[in-house]
Chains A and B, each alone.
Chain A
Amino acid sequence: MISQFFILSSKGDPLIYKDFRGDSGGRDVAELFYRKLTGLPGDESPVVMVTIGGSGHHDDRHFIHIRHSGLYLVATTSENISPFSLLELLSRLATLLGDYCGSLGEATISRNVALVYELLDEVLDYGYVQTTSTEVLRNFIQTEAVVSKPFSLFDLSSVGLFGAETQQSKVAPSSAASRPVLSSRSDQSQKNEVFLDVVERLSVLIASNGSLLKVDVQGEIRLKSFLPSGSEMRIGLTEEFCVGKSELRGYGPGIRVDEVSFHSSVYLDEFESHRILRLQPPQGELTVMRYQLSDDLPSPLPFRLFPSVQWDRGSGRLQVYLKLRCDLPPKSQALNVRLHLPLPRGVVSLSQELSSPEQKAELGEGALRWDLPRVQGGSQLSGLFQMDVPGLPGPPGQGPSASAPLGLGPASLSFELPRHTCSGLQVRFLRLASRPCGNANPHKWVRHLSHSDAYVIRI
């Protein structure tokens, strides 16, 4: 049960404010929230904050918020409610607003204020959730979304459909499909589209001797459907897909994940035999399947880093030679690769020799940043970095040593791997049972993407 809901821009300007119960102060809570957020002591978490009312009872509130594409979505409540449900509700609201307004962002929200209020009215009643299903809601929502520019397929291709140029944002490339789900009823032809994304997040920890300490893959199959609801579709996954450690399927090692959970609208009658998910998705975005895989990856890791460190304690000269090998198949490539290497305090100068001109390296915030916009599979890149660390103490009079000084490393990599899944899971087919509306063949887009969550290499 929530008392108020509001959306703030990243600068703290209230965009949307809605009071559901009228049991707590006025609009100034939004301002109060932002003040608290910015003035929070370092050791407290901003996710849940409390404000004790000045006078009278029922004036103290808990703020619970999520950050989503630069916006703060905040709910206040005076009850001791389940944080999980509330956070889930907030992210569901974010998805819902995205569905209706195209993409979620400051500009789209302020263009569609009326629509957002209408949605909130329907989703929440007196602070209780009524429904968050796009399906049910579309019967009640009258306002049309205002989109910045008319949508056309040509635009789609220019923004790089297959995740080719999704920027550093860790969001799935579904931004390519950013337009309202429920666009006007007249242009039927544009509605027949389905986007299916297999997105994996990879977190890896490699010890200084190169041995693998931790691999963790969090995968999701996300569906964004513009088809009318109720149209059945079948998603065929790789047949060698097995769940749990013991199960064995197909020839060879198979594609194994530890745990799978499905959306409640998925029928699993064909899953056991043919690895087919059958579902009747509502319009809008939904996560069809989530899976996790740890410790045992079928394919080699995408990147290996071979560092060598020369440290002359006497002169304070630190030389770091980094060799980065990309072990992807030769046809694949990694994009937006960035290496982040924390350095000891007091590093003053940096001289660099990089293996190709498009790379960039610079110092900032006590760390070295090495940007590689594009790395082809099977290639090897290197960088030689020399730094002066005058302040770094140590027993003087020793020659160059190979041991790294404290404070150097660990190196972290961030990257995107379009058309590649680390678990090896692929969508074999996406089949629509019946052709909706008798219109032209619906467009089906299937995309695969892996990106790094934390890819850490100790030095």
Chain B
Amino acid sequence: MPYLGSEDVVKELKKALCNPHIQADRLRYRGVIQRVIRMSKLDQWGQAEVLNFLLRYQPRSEEELFDILNLLDSFLKSSSPGVVMGATKLFLILAKKFPHVQTDVLMQVKGPLLAACSSESRELCFAALCHVRQILHSLPGHFSSHYKKFFCSYSEPHYIKLQKVEVLCELVNDENVQQVLEELRGYCTDVSADFAQAAIFAIGGIARTYTDQCVQILTELLGLRQEHITTVVVQTFRDLVWLCPQCTEAVCQALPGCEENIQDSEGKQALIWLLGVHGKRIPNAPYVLEDFIENVKSETFPAVKMELLTAVLRLFLSRPAECQDMLGRLLHYCIEEEKDMAVRDRGLFYYRLLLAGIDEVKQILCSPKSDPSLRLLEDQAERPVNSWALDFNTLVPVYGKTRWATISKCQGVEHHGPELPNTAAFPTSGPLIPEENKERVQELPDSGVLMLIPSHQLTAECFEKTWLSLKVAHQQVFPWQGAVHPDTLQMALQVVNIQTIAMSRAGTQPWKAYLSAQDDTGCLFLTELLLEPANLQMQILVKQSEARTEALKRFISVLETVIGTIADIKS
């Protein structure tokens, strides 16, 4: 236990947060909680710790909730960022049903977050920036008026600059777009190639909304004739014409001359793709591609060769006279001399395709040239605050969602990997219910409602393992007539967040299904449905990972409703 003040305080806290008896007595519990919140002599570590503990507390009434929020309000103004962020997290979680309260809190935390972003401690600054990005995912306009705070200075370390560029890219709006773009343009010529490329990609991101300005800046950058800049600009162009077809004209005009400054595989692929798809509008496209074909023997990247094959064939469709000869040469090279099998196969494939007739080739290769449906930044679904409230003030935003996912996946594999059993088949019948089982069921305090987690995913192996290790908690029989439509049932179960692990096909006898669900406290419910056609009834076996009768009852009633509804539809 960390130091939270005198002995009494600690005792009180333990009482409040760990003792089930007190937790059962709502009034007493509430009183203690309020006393804990009011404790005045805590230092910042104690406060942070208390806020952490309070995350476990669920106020029962709205009135109590706002009572607590009022008591905690002063924590939001603490001078310690740790306490402020802890309080913010608690507010966000407690007020999960009150979006306006959440927005309000995020407004309040703006000041401290911005202060931390310009803090002298680089590390704190970084953590704050990551959280700013997290907030921006849900409230895109939240920091727009403070965009200047996120301008980089040359002395900052690389990782902070990259974060700031990301933030700038996300908070751009009509009012600040001019200034932000001007700033980003300055970064594009930075000494550090990595940072320059990040800035160019950021401009490419903004270009989805503010196309004209960005394309102009990117075109200017091509004039620098720097390899590391040109390659990234061309890649950005490729992505851009795919998303915003209206800028195709401008991009096509900018492209001639780029080929001299591109050496790496990614950049070459992007350029060749552009020349192939939009070659009709670029006068010298065939000649650029011809140069690539001339040098194809010395080309080291198979991916570039593949791209080249496709591009030349596409261009051949729109400009046959100029391309016929070189297409022939390229195909000949790819089929006769190329050692990479994938490239060779691709060459052969196109050759045979051409044999089939030019119309067939057109049908296959002339796919749409853009996908405007992905166009606008605003169109990206705004994630609700509740989706990340639990991750706020943890390491998750600091690592980034994707990296965190890989980290926890690795950990998951570490923890569960070796323990998985090797058995292949599902159990054919559930074990019978032992009588003494019911006595072992412990009464634990439950939260009022059963909340099944929607994102819950259990693998078949895990299910099997858990199923075998648990005893049957509940057994029941439903009346049932006729066959089952597995699809309907599965869909209906999905609606109530019950996952289907495995199911027999329709008409199989006996018909079986295995289901799993998890509630918000982490309790697993595993279910077997068994339909013996002769009996006109469906047998249900439920197993539970933690023995809690209340939750079990509610789960069963949910299941009953679903099955009842399906049965009704059928009859």
Chain A interface residues (CB < 8 Å from chain B): 42-48, 50, 52-53, 56-57, 59-60, 62, 64-67, 80-91, 125, 128-133, 170, 201, 203, 205, 213-214, 216, 218, 259, 261-264, 287, 290, 292, 294, 340, 342, 344-345, 365-367, 393-394, 406-407, 409-410, 412, 414, 453-454, 456, 458
The smallest beta-carbon distance between B15 and chain A, in angstroms, is 19
Q: Are A52 and B411 in contact (CB under 8 A)?
A: yes
The verdict on A83 contacting B394 (CB below 8 Å), with A60-B414, A131-B3 known, is yes
Q: Are A213 and B120 in contact (CB under 8 A)?
A: no
- B505-529: CB near A (< 8 Å → 1, else 0) gives 0000000000000000000000000
The smallest beta-carbon distance between A416 and chain B, in angstroms, is 14
* Cβ 8 A contact of A203, one of B127, B153, B411: B153
The verdict on A43 contacting B81 (CB below 8 Å), with A53-B414, A57-B415 known, is no
Chain A residues closer than 8 Å to B226, beta-carbon distance = 345
Q: Are B394 and A128 in contact (CB under 8 A)?
A: no
The verdict on A216 contacting B118 (CB below 8 Å), with A88-B81, A393-B223, A453-B153 known, is yes
Q: Are A83 and B127 in contact (CB under 8 A)?
A: yes
Q: A231 CA to B198 CA in the complex, in Å?
A: 53
Q: A365 CA to B124 CA in the complex, in Å?
A: 28
* Cβ 8 A contact of A42, one of B45, B52, B82, B194: B194
Q: Are B154 and A412 in contact (CB under 8 A)?
A: yes
The smallest beta-carbon distance between A152 and chain B, in angstroms, is 31
Q: A406 CA to B118 CA in the complex, in Å?
A: 28
Chain A residues closer than 8 Å to B179, beta-carbon distance = 213
* Cβ 8 A contact of B395, one of A81, A213, A407, A414: A81
Closest 10 CB pairs of A and B: A454-B153, A85-B82, A45-B159, A128-B2, A130-B3, A214-B148, A129-B45, A407-B189, A84-B82, A261-B79
Q: List 19 A-B contacts (CB under 8 A).
A: A42-B194, A46-B159, A50-B407, A56-B414, A64-B123, A84-B124, A89-B82, A128-B3, A129-B2, A131-B3, A131-B43, A133-B43, A218-B119, A261-B79, A261-B112, A367-B191, A394-B223, A410-B186, A454-B151
* Cβ 8 A contact of B410, one of A60, A67, A131, A394: A60
Q: Are A132 and B45 in contact (CB under 8 A)?
A: yes
Give the residue name and chain of the A residue nearest to B2 (CB).
A128
Q: Are B410 and A52 in contact (CB under 8 A)?
A: yes
Q: A365 CA to B193 CA in the complex, in Å?
A: 13
Q: A48 CA to B122 CA in the complex, in Å?
A: 12
Q: Are A89 and B121 in contact (CB under 8 A)?
A: no
Q: A364 CA to B417 CA in the complex, in Å?
A: 53
* Cβ 8 A contact of B86, one of A85, A130, A264, A410: A85
- Asked whether B149 is an interface residue with its Cβ less than 8 Å from the other chain, the reply is yes
- The residue among B82, B123, B160, B225 with the most chain A CB atoms within 10 A of its own CB is B123
Chain A residues closer than 8 Å to B151, beta-carbon distance = 205, 214, 454, 456
Chain A residues closer than 8 Å to B189, beta-carbon distance = 342, 344, 406-407
Chain A residues closer than 8 Å to B162, beta-carbon distance = 43, 45
Give the residue name and chain of the A residue nearest to B188 (CB).
A406
Q: A5 CA to B443 CA in the complex, in Å?
A: 41
Q: Are A83 and B1 in contact (CB under 8 A)?
A: no
Chain B residues closer than 8 Å to A85, beta-carbon distance = 45, 48, 82-83, 85-86
Q: Are A66 and B123 in contact (CB under 8 A)?
A: yes
Q: A133 CA to B42 CA in the complex, in Å?
A: 12
Q: A263 CA to B119 CA in the complex, in Å?
A: 16
* Cβ 8 A contact of B85, one of A50, A84, A344, A414: A84
Give the residue name and chain of the B residue nearest to A453 (CB).
B153
The smallest beta-carbon distance between A92 and chain B, in angstroms, is 9
Q: Are A263 and B3 in contact (CB under 8 A)?
A: no
Q: Are B48 and A203 in contact (CB under 8 A)?
A: no
Q: A170 CA to B121 CA in the complex, in Å?
A: 11
Chain B residues closer than 8 Å to A48, beta-carbon distance = 395, 398-399
Chain A residues closer than 8 Å to B81, beta-carbon distance = 84, 88
- Asked whether B393 is an interface residue with its Cβ less than 8 Å from the other chain, the reply is yes
Q: Are A342 and B190 in contact (CB under 8 A)?
A: yes
Q: A170 CA to B148 CA in the complex, in Å?
A: 22
The verdict on A458 contacting B186 (CB below 8 Å), with A50-B407, A340-B154 known, is yes
* Cβ 8 A contact of A65, one of B123, B124, B158, B396: B123
Chain A residues closer than 8 Å to B194, beta-carbon distance = 42-43
Chain A residues closer than 8 Å to B23, beta-carbon distance = none
Give the residue name and chain of the B residue nearest to A263 (CB).
B79
Q: Are A454 and B155 in contact (CB under 8 A)?
A: yes
Chain A residues closer than 8 Å to B153, beta-carbon distance = 203, 412, 453-454, 456
- B108-148: CB near A (< 8 Å → 1, else 0) gives 00011011101111111011100000000000000000001
* Cβ 8 A contact of B77, one of A81, A213, A261: A261
Chain A residues closer than 8 Å to B120, beta-carbon distance = 170, 201, 218
Chain A residues closer than 8 Å to B374, beta-carbon distance = none
Question: Which residues of chain B from 392 to 420 have any CB-CB distance to chain A below 8 Å in the complex?
Answer: 393-396, 398-399, 407, 410-411, 414-415
Chain B residues closer than 8 Å to A170, beta-carbon distance = 120
Q: Are A406 and B223 in contact (CB under 8 A)?
A: yes
Chain A residues closer than 8 Å to B77, beta-carbon distance = 261
Chain B residues closer than 8 Å to A292, beta-carbon distance = 114-115, 118
The smallest beta-carbon distance between B444 and chain A, in angstroms, is 24
Question: Which residues of chain B from 190 to 233 have any CB-CB distance to chain A below 8 Å in the complex?
Answer: 190-191, 194, 198, 220-221, 223-226
Give the residue name and chain of the A residue nearest to B114 (CB).
A292
- B169-198: CB near A (< 8 Å → 1, else 0) gives 000000000010000001001110010001
Q: A65 CA to B159 CA in the complex, in Å?
A: 14
Q: A218 CA to B119 CA in the complex, in Å?
A: 8
- Asked whether B466 is an interface residue with its Cβ less than 8 Å from the other chain, the reply is no
Q: A45 CA to B194 CA in the complex, in Å?
A: 13
Q: Are B115 and A57 in contact (CB under 8 A)?
A: no
Chain B residues closer than 8 Å to A214, beta-carbon distance = 148, 151
The verdict on A414 contacting B118 (CB below 8 Å), with A52-B411, A88-B82 known, is no
Q: Beyond the given A83-B394, A85-B48, please list 15 additional residue pairs across the A-B interface where CB-CB is below 8 A.
A: A45-B163, A47-B159, A52-B411, A66-B121, A82-B52, A88-B124, A125-B3, A130-B3, A133-B43, A261-B77, A264-B43, A342-B154, A342-B189, A407-B189, A453-B153
Chain A residues closer than 8 Å to B84, beta-carbon distance = 84
Chain B residues closer than 8 Å to A47, beta-carbon distance = 122-123, 126-127, 159, 398
Chain A residues closer than 8 Å to B121, beta-carbon distance = 66, 87, 91
- Asked whether B318 is an interface residue with its Cβ less than 8 Å from the other chain, the reply is no
Q: Are A409 and B191 in contact (CB under 8 A)?
A: no
Q: A345 CA to B86 CA in the complex, in Å?
A: 47
Q: A86 CA to B154 CA in the complex, in Å?
A: 27
The verdict on A89 contacting B399 (CB below 8 Å), with A43-B162, A456-B153 known, is no
Q: A264 CA to B44 CA in the complex, in Å?
A: 9
Q: Are B393 and A57 in contact (CB under 8 A)?
A: no
- The residue among A82, A91, A203, A263 with the most chain B CB atoms within 10 A of its own CB is A82
- B41-60: CB near A (< 8 Å → 1, else 0) gives 00111001000100000000
The verdict on A393 contacting B124 (CB below 8 Å), with A132-B45, A412-B153 known, is no
Give the residue name and chain of the A residue nearest to B124 (CB).
A87
